[in-house]
A and B are shown apart, each in its own frame.
Chain A
């Protein structure tokens, strides 16, 4: 039973480019969460999605960031026109319907040059 998968594991972008981070939840999980983590810091909630719905995006910056979880395929976190301050580790987690526990992927480490 595969766990949560994220790709790429490492992503390097130059300022102004777009970054696309992918997350495939565990089998049977319909809820996906995205978090950002800066070095030496905890996890900061960004967005909570169910299939084809954004449930809570209160942690997402208002500009340049968007997320989706389509009916088919992985969840995508998209960052447009990246800036150096976007450099961080981005983690995806998934949970089953009504589940209280979240299971995390290995993360994508984004570096903006």
Chain B
């Protein structure tokens, strides 16, 4: 079973601070997705990274896929209260394999 470990598990920061969330595995993933889930809602897809070393930016969010495709990071610059939520990484272990493994999740709270 491929596991995705996220760290930290919980993070509480002040508005305006920067933060990084990590998603690590001992297995290779063909791609990784990042989702954000707000209380009472379903996860919403933020980005997919496919190529080792790939970096994608989404406004104040920067996503990176490790060179070996075993890990990924999410960096948020100048966090805002609207960034509060549960961040989940997920990925299919093989191309074309539909079952996706979800990470353990990072719960972020941004305090105004």
Shortest C-beta distance, B108 to chain A (Å), equals 13
Total count of chain A residues near the partner, CB < 8 A: 24
Complex contact A42–B92 (CB within 8 A): no
Complex contact A56–B30 (CB within 8 A): no
Complex contact A48–B103 (CB within 8 A): no
Complex contact A100–B48 (CB within 8 A): yes
> Using Cβ atoms and an 8 Å threshold, which residues of chain A touch B88?
42-43
Q: How long is the Cα–Cα vector from A86 to B107 in the complex, in angstroms?
A: 23
> Using Cβ atoms and an 8 Å threshold, which residues of chain B touch A107?
40-42
> Using Cβ atoms and an 8 Å threshold, which residues of chain B touch A4?
42
Complex contact A102–B104 (CB within 8 A): no
Shortest C-beta distance, B104 to chain A (Å), equals 5
Complex contact B103–A42 (CB within 8 A): yes
Please, which residue of chain B has its CB at the minimum distance from the CB of A104? B42
Q: How many A-B residue pairs have CB under 8 A?
A: 56
Complex contact A100–B30 (CB within 8 A): yes
Shortest C-beta distance, A91 to chain B (Å), equals 5
Complex contact B43–A91 (CB within 8 A): yes
Complex contact A45–B99 (CB within 8 A): yes
Interface majority SS (helix, strand, loop, mixed), chain B: loop
A74 at the B interface (CB under 8 A):
no
Complex contact A105–B100 (CB within 8 A): no
Q: How long is the Cα–Cα vector from A107 to B40 in the complex, in angstroms?
A: 8
Q: A104-B44, A105-B42 are in contact. Are A42 and B98 (CB under 8 A)?
A: no
> Using Cβ atoms and an 8 Å threshold, which residues of chain B touch A31?
98
Complex contact A98–B44 (CB within 8 A): no
Q: How long is the Cα–Cα vector from A104 to B37 in the complex, in angstroms?
A: 10
Q: A91-B43, A101-B48, A104-B42 are in contact. Are A43 and B102 (CB under 8 A)?
A: yes
Shortest C-beta distance, A25 to chain B (Å), equals 13
